[in-house]
Structure 1
Amino acid sequence: MASIVDRIKRLLRSPQGQKARARAERLARDPRTQAKARRLLTKFRGGGRRY
């Protein structure tokens, strides 16, 4: 049975995986996406709580 890491590697080598990777890289460069990610991390870390 293939490990999860092997499955991910195989996916990233496939054409579908290449498209997903390109989309993820494009989204990572977008300032709006970066802001969303920062807000989400702050929420999970417990910062920014208002009572």
Structure 2
Amino acid sequence: MSALMQRISRFLSSPKGQQMVDRGRRELAKPGNQDKLRQLASRLSGRRR
């Protein structure tokens, strides 16, 4: 595993990392944010060939 991946893993298992993960999950649960992500995904998938 690369050094960057190790640092990310350590951060995500830390209390501050867990707080960020929980906040991200709460934000993703909001319908408005889900719509924005769907629009972004559709734009990005349209660019593929």
TM-score range, shorter chain: 0.7 to 0.9
Partner residue of 1:40? Answer: 40
The normalised TM-score by structure 1 is: 0.75
Q: Check if 1:21 corresponds to 2:27.
A: no
Question: Per residue, is there more helix in 1 or in 2?
Answer: 2
Q: Gapped runs of 5+ residues in structure 1?
A: none
Counterpart AA for 1:5: M
State the percentage of identical aligned residues.
Answer: 35
Counterpart AA for 1:4: L
Counterpart AA for 2:11: L
Q: Once the 2 structures are TM-superposed, how far is the Cα of residue 37 of structure 1 from its aligned partner?
A: 0.3
Larger Rg: 1
Q: Determine the C-alpha separation between the residues in 2 that align with 1:4 and 1:36.
A: 29
The normalised TM-score by structure 2 is: 0.78
Partner residue of 2:30? Answer: 30
